[in-house]
Amino acid sequence: MSKDRKLRRGIVRAEDSTFVGARVPLFVVEALDRAVAVLVTDRSKFLRMALQEKIARTSQSAGKGAR
Q: What is the DSSP letter of 8?
A: S
**Regarding predicted confidence, which is higher, 1 or 65?**
65
pLDDT tens, 18-62?
Answer: 999 999 999 999 999 999 999 999 999 999 999 999 999 999 988
Show me where the domains of the chain are located.
24-63
Q: Give the H or E element holding residue 47.
A: helix 43-63
Residue pair 12/48 in contact by the 8 Å Cβ criterion: yes
For the entire predicted model, the pTM comes to: 0.71
Q: How confident is the model at residue 66 (pLDDT cuts 50, 70, 90)?
A: low
Q: Which of 25, 26, 17 is nearest to 51 (CA)?
A: 17
Q: How confident is the model at residue 1 (pLDDT cuts 50, 70, 90)?
A: very low
Q: Is 67 exposed, middle or buried (0-12, 13-18, 19+ CB in 10 A)?
A: exposed
